Structure 1
Amino acid sequence: MTTLSAEAIAAYKDEGYLAPIRALPGDELVSLRDHVFRLGAARGGQLPPALNMKAHLLVPCLWDLVHDSRIVGPVVDLLGEDILCWGSSFFDKAPGSPHHVHWHQDSSYWGLERPDALTVWIAFTRSDTANGCLRVVPGSHREQLRHVNAGDPANMLSGGEVLAAKVDEDTVRDVVLAPGEMSIHHQRLIHGSRPNTGTERRMGFAIRYIAGDLKGLRNDRSYATLVHGRDLGGFEIEQAPCKDMDPDALRRHGTILRKFNNIIRREIARHQSEDTDAGA
């Protein structure tokens, strides 16, 4: 199992992210990427909408990826022995696409009782400044900040959120990744990405990992995948798909996403209510 050095762990605690970390060798990454691309071949190269959330529940090779010890090992070093995969999704930008990700913190609408969670972002293609790589604000992970609705259809975030405060561009770092490399960022780290103004497709796979003893803010019995250690009973444990887009897996996925989306909508409403009460 891949592990982090003491220096890397200290850097993560200080800055809220680590990058780049080699996750997969080139041949493995190409095989995995080509498999995913084939899933979108019948749709003009666009991935099926079902893969926007919890894609690992529908594609066996992605199920294997979220369990891969080369990825989970560093997560164990940062979150502890008991690890759940809370979610996964693709961020896919075609050249010239207006799609981007506003400045935000992942934790805004997750509805978890504390911030012992992180995102692993795996580059399926090269991710650089031209094609809209991840951008981060180091050290911005120490508190939860207010978000509002961006009202922007090109925003790739499912909750439509944007950080209410302005970000000082002088504090921003670009996270450039080669195919098969990954970054790790704390769920409260401020981050985003620009549109793809380059000539190459930019695709990344984001995996959301949480500490195994976490629960929802209101003891929600939502769903997660056990990837390391013990099932501590805070979530309904998800099942592996037997083949790509299997009908039984799609039915389970639909049930899981309804619960997931209900929690996100509830958290958005709760934040809006708090803003109203505060006169924001």
Structure 2
Amino acid sequence: MPKLLNEDQVTAYRERGYHFPIEALSAGEVAGFRRKLEDYEAASGGPIKAEMRHRSHVLFTWIDEMIRHPKILDAIEDLLGPDILCWNTSFFIKEAHDPGFVSWHQDATYWGLSSSDVATAWIAMSPANKVSGCMKFIAGTHRQQVKHEDTFDQNNLLTRGQEIAVEVDEAKAVYVELKPGQASLHHVLLFHGSEPNRSDDRRIGLAIRYIPTHLQQAVGARDWATLVRGKDNYGHFLPSYVPRRDLEPEALVFHKEVSEEQVRVLYRGTGKSAYRA
């Protein structure tokens, strides 16, 4: 029996490749998490940048708390089963009236994982709607991997500015409008993207990438993940650092090592050696 989603919602996810919304965080929780993010940004002199946007759960205790949130994990368990790893986290932030966008793409394209049995929980930390540049999905496009082309467009929030190299029917786009604290769930092969933020507020989203424990890194020499529920009887991933305090020295050293390895996987064949700023 499902823990959070009902059987019809699980079936719809399998057929469409997504489900939304789920009530993930309370108003107080999401406001507190946003405040912690923006306190860090104020202290560091500007918006969170480059490699700090990725695998942030090994750096900040409050993001480690988010990846373990029971409501989120209940929904993920309904889709992936009881043994769950958090493989990655990524911030997708569009400043107010910013030209940043996300082209139509499939997440799995450059990740190097051994299977497409991957689900993303995308947590809205500010209003995500058509004006602010919420995500948009194309239902049923999660059946197979398609070819992508790299653009490295400076306004594209993706690592390589990658975009799907087949025609996408925009008329079929489903806009994923979420209130702060709500989340969407999508399959790693689902066609999705988003438009620029035309609102007066930042559009802040945290994407949490969950995998079952049987997956492996098929391209990189090493990879890491955090066991967030159940048991890991496979040991395919090295255990990620779990922070006890925000930005502690040990976490920063670990994060640098992991980021360098991930960049080698994500940017393979491009000559790039660091995340874009």
Same fold (TM over 0.5): yes
Q: Is the 8 A contact 1:40 1:48 kept in 2?
A: no
Structure 1 residue 72 and structure 2 residue 73: aligned?
yes
Q: Give the structure 1 partner of residue 274 of structure 2.
A: none
Query: What is the DSSP-based 3-state SS (H/G/I as helix, E as strand, rest coil) of the residue aligned with 1:120?
Result: strand
Q: Give the structure 1 partner of residue 30 of structure 2.
A: 29
Counting aligned pairs with the same residue, the percent is 37
Offset from partner CA, 1:183-237 (integer Å, 9 cap, x none): 0000000000001112111100000111110012257431111111122211001
Counterparts of residues 24-63 of structure 1 (less than 5 Å): 24-63=25-64
Q: Is the 8 A contact 2:84 2:230 kept in 1?
A: yes
Offset from partner CA, 1:44-100 (integer Å, 9 cap, x none): 541243431101010001101101111111111111111111100111111111111
Q: Give the structure 1 partner of residue 133 of structure 2.
A: 132
Structure 2: runs of 5+ lacking an equivalent:
271-277
Q: Give the structure 2 partner of residue 265 of structure 1.
A: 267
Higher helix share: 1
- Of residues 234, 257, 271 in structure 1, which corresponds to 2:236? 234
C-alpha distance in 2, partners of 1:158/1:183? Answer: 21
The offset of 1:2, in angstroms, is: 5.0
The offset of 1:181, in angstroms, is: 0.1
Q: Give the structure 1 partner of residue 178 of structure 2.
A: 177
Counterparts of residues 210-229 of structure 1 (less than 5 Å): 210-218=211-219, 220-229=221-230
C-alpha distance in 2, partners of 1:219/1:77? Answer: 29
C-alpha distance in 1, partners of 2:159/2:209? Answer: 14
Q: Is the 8 A contact 2:219 2:265 kept in 1?
A: no
C-alpha distance in 2, partners of 1:222/1:21? Answer: 29
CA 1:61 to 1:105, structure 2 compared with 1: closer, same or farther past 3 Å?
same
**Residue type of the partner of 1:83?**
I
C-alpha distance in 1, partners of 2:211/2:6? Answer: 21
Q: Is the 8 A contact 1:2 1:71 kept in 2?
A: no
Moved more, 185-194 or 165-174: 165-174
Q: Is the 8 A contact 1:93 1:203 kept in 2?
A: yes
**Residue type of the partner of 2:215?**
L
Offset from partner CA, 1:76-129 (integer Å, 9 cap, x none): 111111111110011111111111101000000011111000111000001000
Query: What is the DSSP-based 3-state SS (H/G/I as helix, E as strand, rest coil) of the residue aligned with 2:115?
Result: coil
Q: Is the 8 A contact 2:151 2:160 kept in 1?
A: no
**Residue type of the partner of 1:235?**
F
Query: What is the DSSP-based 3-state SS (H/G/I as helix, E as strand, rest coil) of the residue aligned with 1:88?
Result: strand
C-alpha distance in 1, partners of 2:83/2:267? Answer: 28
C-alpha distance in 1, partners of 2:90/2:133? Answer: 17
Q: Is the 8 A contact 1:221 1:234 kept in 2?
A: no
| Residues matched between the structures, number | 268
TM-score under structure 1 length normalisation: 0.92
Q: Give the structure 2 partner of residue 247 of structure 1.
A: 249
The offset of 1:166, in angstroms, is: 1.9
C-alpha distance in 1, partners of 2:211/2:57? Answer: 16
RMSD: 1.5
Offset from partner CA, 1:117-146 (integer Å, 9 cap, x none): 011100000100001001110111011000
CA 1:48 to 1:2, structure 2 compared with 1: closer, same or farther past 3 Å?
farther
Q: Give the structure 2 partner of residue 158 of structure 1.
A: 159
Moved more, 176-185 or 193-202: 193-202
C-alpha distance in 1, partners of 2:219/2:69? Answer: 31
Q: Give the structure 2 partner of residue 275 of structure 1.
A: none
Q: Give the structure 1 partner of residue 273 of structure 2.
A: none
Query: What is the DSSP-based 3-state SS (H/G/I as helix, E as strand, rest coil) of the residue aligned with 2:267?
Result: helix
C-alpha distance in 2, partners of 1:86/1:158? Answer: 17
CA 1:262 to 1:50, structure 2 compared with 1: closer, same or farther past 3 Å?
closer
Q: Is the 8 A contact 2:114 2:218 kept in 1?
A: yes
**Residue type of the partner of 1:225?**
T
C-alpha distance in 1, partners of 2:229/2:221? Answer: 21
Moved more, 213-222 or 65-74: 213-222
